[in-house]
Structures are given as C-alpha cells and as structure tokens.
Amino acid sequence: MLETREFLFLDGAMGTLIQKSGVQYEHNPETLNLTHPDLITSFHRAYLEAGSDLVYANTFGANTYKLEGSGYTTEEVIKAAIRNAREAAKDFDALVALDVGPTGQLLEPAGSLSFEEAYDLFAEEIDAAADADVIVIETMTDLYEAKAAVLAAREHAPGKPILVTMTFETTGRTFAGVSAEAAALTLSGLGVSALGVNCSLGPRDLEPVIERMSHYTDLPLIFKPNAGLPDPNSSEYDIGPEEFAESVRDIAKHGLKVVGGCCGTTPEYIAKLKEALADVTYTPQQKIEGPVICSPSTIVHINGPRIIGERINPTGKKLFKKALQENNIDYILNQALSQVEAGAEILDVNVGLPEIDEREMMVKVLKAIQGVCDAPLQIDSTKPDVLEAALRAYNGRPIVNSVNGEEKSLSTVLPLVKKYGATVVGLTLDEKGIPKTADERFQIAKRIVERAEAIGIPREDVFIDCLTLTVSAEQDACQQTLEGLHRVKTELGCKTALGVSNISFGLPYRELVNRTFLTMAMEEGLDLPIINPNVASMTGAVRAYRVLKGIDKNSLEYISAYQDYTPPESGGAAPAAPAGSAHAGGSPAPESGAGLSPLQNAILKGLKTEGSNATKELLLTEDPLSIVNGELIPALDKVGADFEAGKVFLPQLIQSANAAQECFLVIKEEIARTGSASVSKGKVILATVKGDIHDIGKNIVKVLLDNYGYTVIDLGRDVDPRLIVETAMKEDIEAVGLSALMTTTLGSMEETIKLLREEPSLRNEDGSSKVNVMVGGAVVTPDYAEKIGADYYCRDAKATVDACKTVFKN
Amino acid sequence: MMTLGPLDHREAVRYLGDSRVAMTEEMEALLTECEEEVLAAADPKFLYKVKELPCPELMVGKDIAEHLDGCSKVVLLCATVGAGIDRMLRIAQVKDMSRAVVLDSMSSVAIEQVCRKFDEFIAEEYPDLYQTFRFSPGYGDYPIDLQKWFLTELDAPKKIGLTTNDSYLLIPTKSVTAVMGLSETEPPKRKRGCASCNLRETCNFRKRGAHCGA
C-alpha cells in the first residue's frame, strides 16, 4: 500500500474512544478485546469508515509484564484483538496491524530489564500475531527497546512490514535522551518499512522533530501526533479536527507518507485529515549526504577527519589485559571517559584476549560503556560471532572494524553489517596478506566496495583502511599507504580510516613521526584517524587541520578546546595529574601534621599527586610491603576513625582512599618491575543482589577495599545468585560482600547466601563453609544478617574493611 | 513544566549522613559544584490526579486508612528528576566516588524539592482544603507493590518516563510516588516518623540507630 497510495492513512486513538464510551474494564484496556469484542470492532469500523487504510489492533499494552494479574495471556488477548480488527476490516480495503507498545519497564543500563528479556517479551507478542498484516512498534522512548522490538519482529515475522514511531518531547529528545536524528539513523539501518513520531504533542509542536528525523533517513515518514495537549482537569485536548488536519497538511512537505492521530483524536480527525490531504502529493525528503554514525544521544557526521580513540584494546597493554582477566569493567570505562575528554569522537572497542570469552566480554563492555559515554562506538573484532552479538547489543549505529578482502571475511562480515544497518571498515588485505603496492591495495578496496554494494550496503558506509606499516622496517611502505589512500578517496569516492601509531615502531620520539604521518594522511584524504587521543599533539593536529581546511567553521571547536591553553613551562614541568583525577575541591581537613609522614599527610588530605610522589620517594629506601603496612594502612585507618567519630565527611573518606589508590599503583608498578611478593591481602567478591540497582554503597566499599590492598572482583549490580556462586568457585574466594538497598531485594540476598552454603565445592573438609559472607545496605540489620546466615554485618564501608581484616587475618 | 530553585546544602549534608562534621571551605565548594551539576542534569516532572474517596484500590492495609481518615479526596502523585540524573550518577561513580556520593545526596534534595513544590501547588489549587503529608508505597504497612498501580493509574511511564522494575524500585531512581489526602477539616497532627520517610531505606542516621530530627 505504501507504493500504491499517495498517503497511507492510519487510525486515531483507541484509548480516547474507550474512555468516551464509558465502558469499564479491569486492569488493562486490552482485556476489552475479550470482554467487549463488538465494541472494539465498532471502534475500528468507525476509523475505517472515516478513511483509515490501516487500523492498529487494541494490543498496545498486551505484553506479559503489563497483563500480569489480568487473568489473560498475551496470546489470548492478541488473537482476540486481531480478530476484532479483522472483523471490521473485512468490509474495507484495509490492513490490520499488531500494535506493540513499550514493555513498561526500563531497559539496562537505566533500568534492570535486559535487552534480551525485552526481546523475548516482544517476540511473544509477535508470535501471537501471525494473522496481522503489519507490525507497528510505537510510543517508544528508548531506542534500545525499539531495537529489541524491531529485531523480534524481523526474526519472528520475517518479511512482514514494520512501522516504528518514537515519542519525543519539545526538546527533540525522548525521556531517555534519544535524539530524533539518532532514532532515524538507527531504525532505518534495522530494515523497517517506515519510521516517525507519535504521541506526546500536537502536530505543530512535533514538526521540528519530524523535520530533524527527515534529514537522516530516506524511508517514508510516519506522523501520528496527539490532538494537542490535554487539560489536566477535563482531559479534553486543545486542537480540533480541522486545525489538526490543516497542520498535518502543512507539515506533509517534510516527507510524510503515513499519517494518523494519537491521544485525543477520533474518527472525525481522520476524516478531516483525509480531506485535507486529498489534493496534496507525497514529497520525499532530502537526506543529508555522507555517512553518519551514532549512539542514542549523539551523531557523528563523517564529513572531515573524526578522531577514533584506540585505547580500548588489550594489545601490548599489561594493565588492560589484567583488567579484562579480572573483569574490571570500571578500568575500561575510565579509558572510555578519559579518551572522550581528550577529544575522541568515536571509540574503538576491542576486548580480544585468548583466555577470555570475547563474545560475552564484548557485549558486557559495550553495554557498560554506553551506560556512561555518549560517543558512538567502533566494534573491533575479527570473529563474526563476536561481531553479531555486539551488533545486537549496541544501541545506535556503529562502525564494524573490520572486513577484509578474504572471501571468508567478505561472506560472513558484510551480511552482518547489512542486517544491522552498520557501517564498516574495509582492510586492504586478503588471503595473500598485505600487498606491497598501492595499486594492489586499491584493487582489494574496490572488491570490498563492490561486494558491499552487491548486498545493499551503500558505498558511503564503507571506510577503507589502506593499512599503516612500520616505516623503520620498510621505508617505502609509507608512500604506498598514502598513495592507496589517495586513490581510494578520489577514484572510489570512499571514506578512509587508518590506524596511525604503527608507523613509528622502533623509532625514537615516536610522537613526532606519528603526528607528521597523521597530517600527511589527512592531506591525502584520511577521514577516520585511529589514534591515542590522550596524546595532546595528535588530537591537536586533527583539530588544527580542521581549522586550516575550513571544516571547523569560524574555528569554533578549536577555540573551545584551546581557549584556556597555556604553553607548558620549559624544562621539567611537573607531571600533570591523569585525566579524571583533578581534585573535586573537597580535600579533607582533618587535623594533620604532628608526627605524620608526608605520605600519610597526603592520604589524609586526599592529595593524589603528592601521595604518589611521596610513595616514589619512600620506595628508594623502603620495601613495598613495609610502605603498605607502615604508612598506607595506618593513614587509612586514621581517616576511617575520623569518619566514624564524625570528624570528616564521607566524600573526604573516599578522597583519602583514592589518594591511597594512587600510592598503591606506584607500589604495584614497583612490584611488577622487581618481581617481589604480591601485596594483595586477599580476594573479595562484591555484588549488589538480584533485583537491586542502587549500587552506590557497594561502590564505596569497593574503593575502600581496593585501597586497603584487597583484590576486589566487582560483579556489579542486579547480580544473579548463580553468577556469584560460580565466581566464588572459579576464583577460590574466601570473602563475599553482598549489598541490598530495598526490602524487596533482601530475599535475593538470602537466596544468594543459601546457594553459597549449598555448593559442595565451597565447603571445607569438615563441612564448614569456605566463604565468609559480609552483608550490608541500608535495610539490612544485624538481626536480619544473622537470620539469613551471613557471617558479618557491615554497617558501612569501614566495617567491611574490618570484617576483611578478620577474615584474612591481616 | 517546572524548574528547580537553589538546592539546600545543609539538607544534602544531612543525607550524606552526618551533621556532626564541621563544614570546611573545600566541602562547601564541592557542594556548590555538585549543586550546579545536578541542576544541569535534572529534568524535573510531575503528574497528579485527584480522586474522590472512597477508592478501594488505594486502601490497602491499616496505615493508609488512618492516614486518610476524614479526607474526602486524595491526590495521587508521581514525580521524578529524570533519567539524566541516573546517568550523571553512573558517570560520577566511574570517575570519582567522592563526588558521586555528594551528587547522590544533592539529587535527593532535588526530588524532595519537586515534592515540596508540588505540595505548594496543590495548596494553591485547593485553598479551602487541608492537606495530609505525602504517603508513599512502602511506608508502614502500605505495600510497595502498589507502585505499579500508581504508575498505571497516572500513565506515568508514557507521560513522564517513570517506571518500576520487578522489585518495585522506581526508575529513574530519584523519583517518588505518593498519595496526599485532602480534607475539609483540619486533620489531627501526626508525627511523621521514619516509617513514612522517603529515605527510610537509605538513611545513614537510621543505620547508626540515630534520627535526623526532621
């Protein structure tokens, strides 16, 4: 119908008609499909008589979560709803849609419903709607949830048209912070038939939103606004049918093809709408040129060099490898945040390490990064199964890094890029390795582009990487790379990517070579330099280039980045504090001085740089362990005692702990260098129990334990009891700390302890439990802790440290 | 819809759990910075609905009946400072926990301010009626699972993006659902104890066995 009609007319509100009819229902309006089928059919008929070509079955809230307690199953409700709509539609040339609304729960990371659980809820609805002609997904405020629904529709009803609309505020963002542009980009990539907006506001207020969407998709647009805003007392909407129809008529020029009404609209609105559009022709919108990628909140238009941060990658990085092995996600999140602060616009994410499950880790890391970081991501793996899992889990439109000229790669990676609507980096190598000459690399690039286009991936979405080789090994290779890049850019018209840092291996003053090569490559047409953005001169080279090429209009970005720049003092400037460690302005002020060493003073005052400098000095004369036991721990104990006595604030306690952490880092490096004994005082699991997402308390405990020298395995929040048991077994754990903040989640705490106690391999020979369980959290009491079989009740973070000292006898 | 005014630093310190500590200049500066950050990230919203009593769905348990004794109407409230606050708190927890705990307290001040502004708003709308204080699911014997009913009744997920999870935690986390009674006659003064405080589950005073004195 989309092809054959000038406009496709949807229906208006179902809820408004239900309300006006005065019919009573229990629990969910969807139960009316079974209790009052004729009434529901009559509503559909009224819309069809008014001119609707497509009616939405009364299934908006018919998912298992929302129907809980209604006495009906999803299948019963949906089958009845479609039957009712079909009954009305049979006398018209009209289609029936399954209407899928939000699950009613927030998805991770904001909420606790997982992407996969949301998918299952939607799949159940779609399975029940085999008789529907179309799947409609509407009123979505979370792009991630919309994606779960679209994937469920594509995979459970292959070939059926999918219409998706999201709900925006006047800001052009949803409650979840999703921008109109990112929604349009991501959903078009997922292969829907049409997309647009519904609900929240009247047509005029939604015009800017649909206009913004229109530049980022070439699909037909859907427009289903409310009849204005409701009066809070009478619930009457303030825009009448005539005005509504006239407004939509004016807005149709932005590419509207599928139109209808949401809350407050009735058959009269649809009739007027049809009248108003009778002599209007559909005008497809103009999409902007060039590739765009996005996260839910941020789009990056690749219309000049854009920095891809390369730091989330274990290759050659000891600390990163260790973080992956220890499941230390916070370490990775810090890498993400500091790169963005330094100027990265896109982050490459590579977590490949032989001894870990790359697929599982990739999904976990992507979700965690997207929970705190707005930059779009580049998914970096060679394994198709990792790429597919990541493409499902990613919220937005990513870059896949990478496909190459090998047949195996082309035939496995490109179909994934197509299915999930991503963009892709194409490496100019194949079965024979990296060709020596620019021309051979160009030929591979050409092949990759042709294969991509053959399955419907536009050329603009393929970014060719002509591969950087080490110039100290092969001096001519640099020229070949640049020449290849130039030809790809000019002859194939593709965007280009390049990992820059490889160029300088084996040379002194690598930064200088990298920066010069980067500038040369940009001049040849490099769009996506993959660099370490924390090196100021590299990021600076890109920013300066954008000014000199006229890309950064009026040098605005450049000025905002450097307006406070002061050149470093020549000759031995003090090392800058690492990003993110700047003082929050709240250094504690416990009485200091008397009899305390400089190191202890630094910790008491929460001063990181001073602390690490003092540690370095002490290491010249003392061994690491005696610094830990003689300096760090006593200083922390003193702050802890001050905290308990009400002399310092909680933030000050934490700042001291953070300062101690800097000192520990210095000591750990020394130990790694000299190979002396480990300073770990014991391994502890921390978790906020299943169902609970308040984890600030647990995180405070983590900071303190870290800095008392314990190795913390942080399993995060909303943690399944089984995972805690399995980790305890795998890591040979003696202490587990559990936190619960709500009375409703105390049950999960009890269940976790029960499982820990039941596991035979976690028992000593005499049958006693190997694992010491510490519990805490606002609602936990000493009595309750005893009742559920915990070993230690921990009132606060300091008490947890004390418990660990007892457990590990240190 | 509404804007937040200055956030009370003393109240934030109280939520941090200790009013005994002497204020320092650094701490005051940190509080100011965190206040600015919270005000920038907050997207305060509320929804309400006035219902005539009796309302059987609402009356579960003894405490609510006592609370609404003598009232002719109730006002149902759903309020939130939005998902941006949760995101801000997640980022702060990665970057700097000491800042995160202050931001967390300051965000609690913000949602409490939304609720107080709402009280004033209702007082203006119904100048002839007396208000009871706000009573929330989870107070006393008032079942926490009524959260879902409140949200559905006000269409809160769709209208202000407020939801719960399976454990009836409100998400975004800095949010409130509550019912307030309206009465033609002045209700008897009731002590608003810990059982009917929004911080009852997170309060550092209670953990120490102390009382905030509010």
CATH number at residue B47: 3.40.109.40
ipTM of the complex: 0.84
Query: What percentage of residues in chain A have a pLDDT greater than 90?
Result: 70
**Is B203 inside a domain boundary?**
no
Query: Is a pLDDT exceeding 50 seen at residue A179?
Result: yes
Tokens representing residue B32 in the block: 């100011």
**Is B160 inside a domain boundary?**
yes
Give the Å distances, CA to CA, from A138 to A101, A103, A196, A556, A711.
5, 11, 9, 38, 46
Distance between CA atoms of residues A578 and A561, nearest Å: 18
List of chain B residues whose C-beta atoms are within 8 Å of the C-beta of residue A112 = 165-167, 169, 171
Domain A598-674 has what CATH class?
mainly alpha
Query: Is a pLDDT exceeding 80 seen at residue B204?
Result: no
**CATH number assigned to the domain with residue range A292-536, chosen from the 4 options 3.40.50.300, 3.20.20.20, 1.10.287.110, 3.30.360.10:** 3.20.20.20
List of chain B residues whose C-beta atoms are within 8 Å of the C-beta of residue A606 = 98
* Top-confidence residue, B142 or A145: A145
Contact A654 B91 (CB under 8 A): no
Closest CB to B158: pick one of A106, A139, A330. A139
Distance between CA atoms of residues B59 and B55, nearest Å: 7
Q: What is the predicted pLDDT for the residue at B100?
A: 93
β pairing state of A423-427 and A462-465: parallel
pLDDT average, residue stretch A713-737:
92
Comparing alpha-carbon positions, the chain A residue that sits nearest to B199 is: A778
* Top-confidence residue, A115 or A796: A115
In sequence order, what DSSP letters do the residues of A98-129 get, joined into one string?
EEE---SSPBTTTSSB-HHHHHHHHHHHHHHT
Q: Which fold has domain A8-276?
A: TIM Barrel (3.20.20)
Distance between CA atoms of residues B157 and A621, nearest Å: 62
Max mean pLDDT among A67-71, A484-488, A743-747, B188-192 falls in A484-488
Comparing alpha-carbon positions, the chain A residue that sits nearest to B15 is: A650
Judge whether A292-536 and A683-807 match in fold: no
Q: What is the domain range of residue B174?
A: 9-188
pLDDT category, A581, cuts 50, 70, 90? very low
Give the Å distances, CA to CA, from A710 to A360, A678, A791.
26, 11, 19
Contact A177 B20 (CB under 8 A): no
- Residues B119-130 pLDDT 10s: 999 999 999 898
Contact B95 A337 (CB under 8 A): yes
pLDDT average, residue stretch A523-543:
96
Comparing alpha-carbon positions, the chain A residue that sits nearest to B31 is: A586
Provide CB contacts within 8 A for A483, sequence distance 6+: A438, A524
Give the Å distances, CA to CA, from A367 to A10, A363, A383, B144.
36, 6, 19, 30
- Residues A349-407 pLDDT 10s: 999 998 899 999 999 999 999 999 999 999 999 999 999 999 999 999 999 999 999 99
Contact B157 A104 (CB under 8 A): yes
Contact B171 A112 (CB under 8 A): yes
pLDDT category, B43, cuts 50, 70, 90? very high
Domain boundaries, chain A: 8-276, 292-536, 598-674, 683-807
User: For chain A, what is the mean pLDDT?
Assistant: 91
* Top-confidence residue, B63 or A362: A362
Contact A694 B173 (CB under 8 A): yes
pLDDT category, A641, cuts 50, 70, 90? confident
Contact A651 B203 (CB under 8 A): no
Distance between CA atoms of residues B74 and B179, nearest Å: 7
- Token pair 């048991």: residue: A725
> Residue A195: enclosing H or E segment and its boundaries?
strand A194-198
Closest CA to A325 of A770, A730, A772: A730
Comparing alpha-carbon positions, the chain B residue that sits nearest to A697 is: B101
Closest CB to A110: pick one of B13, B172, B208. B172
The CA-based angle A171-A177-A182, given to 5 degrees, is 90
**Is B204 inside a domain boundary?**
no
Check: CB of residue B214 under 8 Å from CB of residue B198: no
DSSP tag of A738: E
List of chain B residues whose C-beta atoms are within 8 Å of the C-beta of residue A111 = 163, 165, 171
Query: Is a pLDDT exceeding 70 seen at residue A569?
Result: no
Distance between CA atoms of residues A363 and A353, nearest Å: 14
Distance in Å, alpha carbon of A805 to nearest chain B alpha carbon:
22
Through-space distance between the first and last CA atoms of chain A, rounded to whole angstroms: 75
Comparing alpha-carbon positions, the chain B residue that sits nearest to A373 is: B91
Provide CB contacts within 8 A for A69, sequence distance 6+: A27
Q: What is the predicted pLDDT for the residue at A254?
A: 95
Q: Which fold has domain A683-807?
A: Rossmann fold (3.40.50)
Q: What is the predicted pLDDT for the residue at A586?
A: 41
**Is B47 inside a domain boundary?**
yes
Distance between CA atoms of residues A749 and B130, nearest Å: 42
Comparing alpha-carbon positions, the chain A residue that sits nearest to B87 is: A372
pLDDT average, residue stretch A55-64:
96
Peptide bond before residue A52 is cis, with ω within 30 degrees of 0: no
Query: Is a pLDDT exceeding 50 seen at residue B42?
Result: yes
DSSP tag of A3: T
Provide CB contacts within 8 A for B124, sequence distance 6+: none
Distance between CA atoms of residues A649 and A633, nearest Å: 19
DSSP tag of A689: B
Give the Å distances, CA to CA, from A768 to A562, A591, A733, A756, A771.
62, 46, 14, 12, 9
Closest CA to B26 of A148, A240, A606: A606
Predicted TM-score (pTM) of this structure: 0.87
Q: What is the predicted pLDDT for the residue at A517?
A: 97
Distance in Å, alpha carbon of A52 to nearest chain B alpha carbon:
25
DSSP tag of A447: H
Contact A371 B16 (CB under 8 A): no
Query: What percentage of residues in chain A have a pLDDT greater than 70?
Result: 96
Q: What is the predicted pLDDT for the residue at B201?
A: 61
- Residues A298-338 pLDDT 10s: 999 999 999 999 999 999 888 899 889 888 898 999 999 99
Provide CB contacts within 8 A for B187, sequence distance 6+: B69, B70, B71, B130, B132, B181
Query: Is a pLDDT exceeding 70 seen at residue B202?
Result: no
Domains: count for chain B: 1
List of chain A residues whose C-beta atoms are within 8 Å of the C-beta of residue B93 = 695-696, 699
Q: What is the predicted pLDDT for the residue at A786?
A: 92
Provide CB contacts within 8 A for B182, sequence distance 6+: B50, B71, B72, B73, B74, B75, B122, B126, B129, B130, B131, B132
Among the ranges given (A116-130, A661-675, B77-91), the one the predictor scored with the smallest mean pLDDT:
A661-675
Comparing alpha-carbon positions, the chain A residue that sits nearest to B171 is: A111
Contact B93 A695 (CB under 8 A): yes
Check: CB of residue A398 under 8 Å from CB of residue A377: yes
Check: CB of residue A519 under 8 Å from CB of residue A297: no
Contact A651 B169 (CB under 8 A): no
Give the number of other CB atoms < 10 A from CB of residue A170. 11
Among the ranges given (A33-37, A108-112, A186-190, A202-206), the one the predictor scored with the smallest mean pLDDT:
A108-112
> Residue A54: enclosing H or E segment and its boundaries?
strand A54-56
Distance between CA atoms of residues A94 and A260, nearest Å: 14
Tokens representing residue B73 in the block: 């109407």
Contact B26 A795 (CB under 8 A): no
List of chain B residues whose C-beta atoms are within 8 Å of the C-beta of residue A585 = 26, 29-30, 33
Check: CB of residue A82 under 8 Å from CB of residue A96: yes
Mutate to test the interface with A, among B107, B125, B151, B158 (most CBs of A within 10 A): B158
Provide CB contacts within 8 A for B25, sequence distance 6+: none
Query: Is a pLDDT exceeding 50 seen at residue A511?
Result: yes
- Residues B134-193 pLDDT 10s: 999 988 888 998 998 999 999 999 889 999 988 888 999 999 999 999 988 887 666 666
